[in-house]
Structure 1
Amino acid sequence: MRIFLAGATGVIGVRLVPLLVEVGHEVAGMTRSQAKADQVREAGAVPVVCDVYDLDALTTAVVSFGPDVVLHQLTDLPDDPAELAAGAAANSRIRTEGTRNLIAAATAAEAGKFLAQSIAWEQPPERSAAVTEHESAVLDFGGVVLKYGQFYGPGTYYENTLPDHPRVQVDDAAAQTLKYLDAPSGVVVIADPTE
């Protein structure tokens, strides 16, 4: 399959690119940072430097690659978890406007599948509307919503501790994602079993 991965240099994207390439998929890895293009290339994907909010450039990039699948793994989260509340609006924008733009680009490219990252835990009311809008847009397209538990492991907010359930080890989350590339439209939860 040809897979356009938006968010190729994020915490799960960096794990997904080599996994997808290893099993034979042709991958375009999108990042908004020119400095990270080499990282995408070294992982075996075609680097695409693009801002999800530039709809024309995004559409051109996705159409040019001609994907079978668009895989939305974009977030806009701070490196410091103490800044999560302050950065909430930016992440909500990715979920709303960013998702709309990726769906528009996938539609223009006639991509047959669309999968998007979401969360498996409850958000405060002021942020839950963006999650609901995001998931509804994906399902309206006929896509798959991947509701991940809180990531833990290297490169996450929980490198040395376990977050509350629902949670999932980040490498396991990436590996499990591959199982859903051919899934029918719907919502799947990717999380560790509760004890």
Structure 2
Amino acid sequence: MRIFLAGATGVIGTRLLPLLIGAGHEIAGLTRSPAKAAAIRATGAHPIVHDVYDAPGLAAAVTDFAPDLVMHQLTDLPDDVADLATSGEANARIRTEGTANLLAAAAAAGAKRFLAQSIAWQPPAGRGAVIAAHEAAVLDAGGVVVRYGQFYGPGTYYESTQPEHPRIHVDSAAARTIDLLDAPTGTVVVVDPA
């Protein structure tokens, strides 16, 4: 399967790349950072350096790759968990404008499948409408919404401790995502047992 992975250098994207390549898929990995292209290439994937907010350019990049599936693993979160409360607008923009641009690019490319990450917990006050609209857009396009628990493990906000439920080790989240490539349209919750 040809898969366009948006968010290839994020905390879950870096784990998905080798799993997808190892399973025999041909992957284009999207990053907005030219410095991260080599890391994508090192996995055997095709790096695509582009900004998700440049809709025409994104549509051209996705169309050029001609994927069977577009996977949306983009977030815009701060490096420090202490900054989460003040950085919600950037991540909300990924969930709205970024999602709309990826859906339009997938449609322009004729991709048959779309899979997008979401969250399995109640968002902070005032952010629920953004999550609901993001999920509705994906489902309306016939896609799959993956509601992940809070990630823990290396490279996450919870490297040495576990967050409250719902949670999922980031390596388990990536492995379980591979099983969803052919999932039917709908919402899937990916969390550790409570």
Counterpart position of 1:185: 185
Amino acid at match of 2:159: E
Q: How does 1:103-182 map to 2 (within 5 A)?
A: 103-182=103-182
Is residue 2:18 matched to residue 1:18?
yes
Secondary structure of the equivalent of 1:96? Answer: helix
**1:181 maps to amino acid:** L
Name the SS of the counterpart of 1:70 in structure 2.
Answer: strand
Q: TM-score, normalised by structure 1?
A: 0.99
Partner in structure 1 of residue 6 of structure 2: 6
1:128 and 1:34 map into 2 onto residues whose CA distance is 33
Equivalent residues in 2 for 1:52-67 (5 A)? 52-67=52-67
- Distance in 2 of aligned mates of 1:128 and 1:45: 34
Give the Cα separation in 2 of the matches to 1:131 and 1:43: 31
Note the alpha carbon deviations across 1:163-183, whole angstroms, 9 max, x for none: 000000000000000111001
The aligned residue for residue 68 of structure 2 is 68
Q: Which position in structure 1 is the counterpart of 2:97?
A: 97
For each residue in 1:37-92, what CA deviation from the matched residue of structure 2 results, as whole angstroms up to 9, or x when unmatched?
00100011000001000001100000000000000000000000000011100000
Give the RMSD, CA atoms, in angstroms.
0.5
| SS of corresponding position for 1:180 | coil
Q: Aligned partners of 2:160, 2:125: CA distance in 1, in Å? A: 29
Which stretch shifts more, 157-166 or 123-132? 123-132
Deviation readout 1:7-42 (Å, 9 max, x if unpaired):
000000000000000010000000000000001000
Cα distance, 1:125 vs structure 2: 3.0
After superposing on structure 2, the runs of 4+ consecutive aligned residues of structure 1 that deviate more than 4 Å are none
Identity value in percent: 65
Q: Which amino acid aligns with 1:85?
A: A
CA distance in 2, matches of 1:124, 1:150: 14
Number of equivalenced pairs: 194
Taking the TM superposition and a 5 Å limit, the aligned residue runs for 1:34-49 are 34-49=34-49
Residues 83-108 of structure 1: per-residue CA shift (max 9 Å, x gap): 00111000000000100000000000
One-letter amino acid matched to 1:125: A
The offset of 1:124, in angstroms, is 2.2
Which secondary structure state, in structure 2, belongs to the residue aligned with residue 125 of structure 1? coil
Provide structure 2 residue ranges, at least 5 long, that are not aligned to the other structure.
Answer: none
- The answer for unaligned runs of 5 or more in structure 1 is none
